[in-house]
Amino acid sequence: MRGIREILGGAILFFSALALVAWPRVSASGAAAPHLGASLAQGEEPVPAFHSEVPPGPLPQTLDPAHFADPVVKNAYHIAARVKKVLYQQPCYCHCDRSQGHGSLLDCFVSKHASMCDICIREDLYAYEQTRKGKTPAQIRAGIRQGDWQRVDIAKYETYPAKP
């Protein structure tokens, strides 16, 4: 009798773990199964999760910049609130889609995650600057994929509110 319980318990544990792995993650923006990028060339890094278009309903609110003391972080959250539709359509190369279940760069600013991540902040500032230049979300995404976000001048955001 004890052996049957152990086998049954093991089977339940196995199938529970399998269900957790197979269950689709839902991002803070409420979307399951975001776009995971196209097929890859050999050695190319996979594109993190993003959405190719904005949903018909409202997007989640970003955190209030007042929660943060660092002026760069404050500016990043302030800017994220202004370009939510663009951030929703961008991948985040800190790969928080894998570790946090994020569906796009916007999810980083719906939580405190971005406040501790230079990649999220730089991608946000890059997306904002490119939006101001008239770039489309797809063009911004291409720049992010190329690593252009790494060249953002953080010094412009060291006072709050920034005047980039």
The count of domains in the chain is 1
pLDDT tens, residue order, the chain (164 aa): 566 666 555 545 444 443 433 344 445 555 544 554 444 455 567 899 999 999 989 999 999 999 999 999 999 999 999 999 999 999 999 999 898 999 999 999 999 999 999 999 999 999 999 999 999 999 999 999 999 999 999 999 999 998 87
Evaluate whether residue 109 is within a structural domain: yes
Specify the DSSP class assigned to residue 33.
S
Note whether residue 94 is domain-resident.
Answer: yes
Residues facing residue 26 across a β-bridge: 32
Q: Which residue segment(s) compose the domain that 64 sits in? A: 2-157
H helices of the chain, where?
2-22, 71-82, 84-88, 96-99, 106-110, 118-132, 137-146
Indicate whether 139 belongs to any domain: yes
Residue 163 lies in a domain: no
- Whether 164 is covered by a domain: the verdict is no
